[in-house]
Amino acid sequence: MKRTQIYFPKELHDDLKVGAAIMKISMSEYIRKLLEESLYFRPMKDKPLKKKASLMILADNAVNLGKPDLAKNFRKYFEESLR
């Protein structure tokens, strides 16, 4: 693996942080998954669709999202993940 540094707008950074927290993986791993999804599984001629890849990855991992009461207590878990 090669190390690189990149700057994200705050909103995008926040979305990446939340996506990684939901999947219980590092933000770096989450970004790698998004990039792989975008580069290898979506034809390049398509116009980029915001959050398409992240939703596909979340859907693929929906079984592993954790707590059975997640829907009921989403706000609580979401706020905890941002701390």
- The verdict on residue 4 lying in a domain is no
pLDDT of residue 25: 93
Q: What is the CA radius of gyration of the chain?
A: 14
Residue 51 backbone dihedrals phi, psi, to 5 degrees: 70, 10
- The verdict on residue 31 lying in a domain is yes
- The verdict on residue 55 lying in a domain is yes
Residue 40 corresponds to which amino acid?
Y
Most confident of 29-33, 47-51, 63-67: 29-33
- The verdict on residue 60 lying in a domain is yes
pLDDT of residue 72: 83
pLDDT-derived band at 69, boundaries 50, 70, 90: confident
pLDDT of residue 8: 94
- The verdict on residue 18 lying in a domain is yes
For 10, half-sphere exposure in the C-beta direction (CA atoms, 13 angstrom radius) is 0
In terms of residue numbers, what domain contains 71? Answer: 10-81
Q: How many domains does the chain have?
A: 1
- The verdict on residue 23 lying in a domain is yes
Q: Are 27 and 8 in contact (CB under 8 A)?
A: no
- The verdict on residue 5 lying in a domain is no
Q: Are 17 and 9 in contact (CB under 8 A)?
A: no
